[in-house]
Amino acid sequence: MNREELLQAIEQPAQKIEVQLEPQLSQRILDDVGNEPGNLPLLEFAMTRLWSLQQNRTLTHQAYQEIGGVKKALANHAEQVYQKLSETEKKAAQRIFVQLVRPGEGTEDTRRIAARKEVGDENWKLVSDLAGYTARLVVTGHDEKSGEDTVEVVHEALIREWLTLREWMKKDRLFRAWQERLRDIIHQWEETKRDDGVLLRGVPLSEAEEKLKQRREELSTPEQDFIQLSIDLRERQLREEKARRRRGIIGVSGAALTIMATLGGTAWYQSKQAELNSDIAEHYSKAFIDAATGNKKGALESFDQAVELNPNYAINYFARGIVRNDLGDKKGAIEDYNQALRLNPNYDQAYGNRGNARRDLGNKKGAIEDYNQVLRLNPNDALAY
């Protein structure tokens, strides 16, 4: 509509029932409407409000000022409706309206269509009241695709001009921006047929978990469920990782027990303080702990250092051989057992372990020779038989 057509739309209904507009009021209204097509619904609303305030069959500048003009008439009306609500209804209204605004990121906030579940089923009666003839602040509808009831603000002027709503958005902007991002992720999750790979992890999950604790009532059931599924996945993965680590510890504990049983555990090196300096004793202590907790490489490094500190002590090579064998380095283990036997030719346990390593490498003849040496030195060793 051009300016002339708008002028007729303002004045003709009044002329038909002999209602007058004060001089220049029509021009003032036209100036406020401007050239934006989106202002036409605001004009209609402002004129309806103005007609309700006519005095002596006259529409006045004072009444037009009172309603807030074309731009603020709707916002002023919204505040009047809001102030008549009970305290409980006011809280519900805040929940409803902030869900009808999409927070802009570097741009203006815009209206969005919200599903019934997003504003809360318990608030739908109030939504219906706000959509009624007296209030006319929202418009309800129905999404044929999802089968859900929907609601949106009657005009974006509410978002721009209603100060109460602007304050709500200022307070909840970060939460609403986060919530919109969450909804985008949930949409992606649905599009990928609920692939676990889309569920939240790391920092985003921690943030969502905190929101679930603090603002659960402002999250829809699908949003709550999505966050909980992400939490469940994290807990399941932690349990699986813990089980893997436990299996790793159990797997290596054989080596740890072999070392500690052979050496007599911590009591062994405590009784050998006269032969071992404190540095070597410290390496043995660390090696026992590393072996028992599954840190095979750490145990190997500790025994490497023990060998370096005392290369003439047979048991250093023997202990390192046990760890090497457990790491799968059979040849390296045999080398250590060889060195232990060079230093102590009567070391029956070194013969036994070398025999096992030779057997694993397919050297049955060598294994039998070692087991015979064990029996020679220790006839009561049943394992050698």
pLDDT at 61 over 80: yes
Q: What's the rounded Cα separation, in Å, for the pair 152 and 137?
A: 9
Q: What Å distances lie between residue 109 and 36, 58, 99, 214, CA to CA?
A: 18, 38, 12, 25
- Residue 105 has a pLDDT of 83
Q: What is the pLDDT of residues 117-168, one digit of tens each?
A: 999 999 999 999 999 988 899 999 999 998 999 999 999 999 999 999 999 9
Banded pLDDT at 292 (limits 50, 70, 90): low
pLDDT of the residue at 189: 97
Rounded Cα gap, residues 121 and 112, in angstroms: 18
- Residue 41: predicted pLDDT: 84
Task: Return the top range by mean pLDDT from 2-11, 167-176, 302-311.
Answer: 167-176
The runs of H, that is alpha helices, within the chain are: 3-16, 25-33, 40-52, 61-67, 69-83, 87-99, 116-119, 124-131, 157-161, 163-191, 202-214, 221-263, 265-271, 278-292, 296-309, 314-326, 330-343, 348-360, 364-377
Taking all residues of the chain, what is their mean pLDDT, rounded to a whole number? 86
CB 249 within 8 A of CB 296: no
Mean pLDDT on 206-210: 96
Q: What is the DSSP letter of 55?
A: B
Given pLDDT bands bounded at 50, 70 and 90, which one contains residue 381? low
Does position 75 have pLDDT exceeding 70, yes or no?
A: yes
Q: What are phi and psi of 58, to 5 degrees?
A: -135, 135
Strand partners, 139: 152
Rounded to 5°, the CA angle 119-96-198 comes to 45
Which has more pLDDT, 288 or 85?
85
Sketch the domain layout of the chain as residue ranges.
3-67, 75-171, 244-384
82 CB-near residues (< 8 Å, 6+ apart): 90, 93, 164
Superfamily the domain 244-384 falls into: Tetratricopeptide repeat domain (1.25.40.10)
Please state, in angstroms and rounded to a whole number, the distance separating the CA atoms of residues 320 and 326: 10
Confidence of residue 249 (pLDDT cuts 50, 70, 90): very low
Any bridge partners for residue 85, and if so which? none
